[in-house]
Amino acid sequence: MPTPITRIGVLTGGGDCPGLNAVIRAVVKDAASHGIQTIGIEDGFLGLIENRVRPLTPADVSGILLQGGTILGSSNKANPRKFACGLLPDGTPKIEDRTDACMDVIRSHGLQALVVIGGDGTMSCADTFVKRGVRCIGVPKTIDNDIYGTDLTFGFSTAVQIATDAIDRVRTTAASHHRVMVVEVMGRNAGWIALHAGIASGSDIILIPEIPFSVDHVCEHIRKRASEGKKYSIVCAAEGAKMAGGSAFVERVVATSPDPIRLGGIGKALSGMIEEKIGVESRYVVLGHVQRGGTPVALDRVLATQFGDHAMELLKFGSGEAKDMDAERGSRLVVWKDAKLGDIALTEASNKQRLVPLDQPLLAAARSVGTSFAEG
């Protein structure tokens, strides 16, 4: 018989996201009701590296359901296997493997399992500990909705709503001044936010990373609309969208980060190209981190609560597809697949991304109402 779970750790890794607190709340309250103590690990895996943890009780999570962000803090720069800890004499980052130190912290606090809430990078970090014998339950979090194996992640619906509201507001000023407005939304490699917000807002052109675009085709669609008496156009562009034969627009490079490339700039560049090519006044808006902040919408609160509940079910009883309780087989990722809760092996989601497939029905739906993807 497997040893009953009595003490677990929970952490939130990667970027912040609406709904994180709802998951923490569900985990802590469910755990407490079954006599399981929860230890909160601060600032993602950085808390393991630096031994910064604290007990969490139901009183600590009372009232946090509707709060954005995470009460535990987060970090997207703390990969234990590749931890940047200063600079070498030549100015390059000094990288160390701090996995052993993290294992010492896990053992010293008697943690029998970890609930790891995060995106693809966080799941890849968790896989490191699974291989060292630590049982991990992953809860998929990202506004980009790009975690492999799940149709939906919490935080996505809030980000789409924020982007849609912003585009709705931009539309009125675009119409008043007969301008082209380019709205740059998040989405490094996956265009789910741009696709959903673009359709929801009635954007005239949607640009996503999966479909390289042509500036000439963007301009051609704007001209076509003008010839039909439509004096303004809205372009919804994912930050990772790229021109055919080119690469994504890079804002800057952070050498000390595990993910050093910071995308951005497509809005500014594209609005300038449109003005130069066809002489139509253009403006751009970059939504940026606005999409990750604030109160989660109802759908994300519900989904996050369900995810937290299912994570605890997996810890208490195991998966129907993986009855063994050893770390490798007992480490699972909570997923929403085919409109129901489920779980897959955590390793399945490691180092993978769920991109918009070219046969995605939403692409056809958008095209049917006259939306252009300006394919190159």
Report, as residue numbers or ranges, the catalytic residues.
144
DSSP state of 154: B
Pick from 24, 31, 28, 14: nearest CA to 296: 24
Q: Cβ atoms within 10 A of the Cβ of 260, count? A: 14
Contact 109, 8 (CB under 8 A): no
Region of residue 24 (phi > 0: left; psi between -120 and 50: alpha; otherwise: beta): alpha
pLDDT of residue 350: 77
Determine the Cα–Cα distance for residues 138 and 335; give it in Å rounded to an integer. Answer: 9
Q: Domain 158-291, what architecture? A: 3-Layer(aba) Sandwich (3.40)
* CATH topology identical between 7-154+296-349 and 158-291: yes
Digit-by-digit pLDDT tens for the chain (376 residues) are 457 899 999 999 988 899 999 999 999 999 999 999 999 999 999 999 999 999 999 999 999 999 999 999 998 888 899 888 878 888 788 889 999 999 999 999 999 999 999 988 899 899 999 999 999 999 999 999 999 999 999 999 999 999 999 999 999 999 999 999 999 999 999 999 999 999 999 999 999 999 999 999 999 999 999 999 999 999 999 999 999 998 888 877 766 665 667 778 899 999 999 999 999 999 999 999 999 999 999 999 999 999 999 999 999 887 655 555 566 678 999 999 999 999 999 988 877 899 999 999 999 999 999 999 999 8
pLDDT of residue 328: 64
Residue ranges per structural domain of the chain? 7-154+296-349, 158-291
Determine the Cα–Cα distance for residues 92 and 94; give it in Å rounded to an integer. Answer: 7
Instruction: For 176-223, give the DSSP string.
Output: HHT-EEEEEE--SS--HHHHHHHHHHT-SEEE-TTS-B-HHHHHHHHH
Determine the Cα–Cα distance for residues 159 and 287; give it in Å rounded to an integer. Answer: 10
Going 326 to 327 to 328 to 329, the CA torsion angle's sign is: positive
The gap between the terminal CA atoms of the chain, to the nearest Å, is 59
Amino acid identity of 97? Answer: D
CATH of 7-154+296-349, one of 3.30.70.20, 3.40.50.450, 3.90.380.10, 1.10.10.10: 3.40.50.450
Contact 235, 171 (CB under 8 A): no
Instruction: For 161-177, give the DSSP string.
Output: HHHHHHHHHHHHHHHHH
Q: Cβ atoms within 10 A of the Cβ of 103, count? A: 17
Rg (CA), the chain: 22
Contact 98, 80 (CB under 8 A): yes
Q: CB under 8 Å to 171, separation ≥6 — which residues?
A: 181, 201, 202, 232, 234
Q: CB under 8 Å to 223, separation ≥6 — which residues?
A: 278
Structure tokens at 363: 């692409």
Average pLDDT taken over every residue of the chain: 92
SS3 54: strand
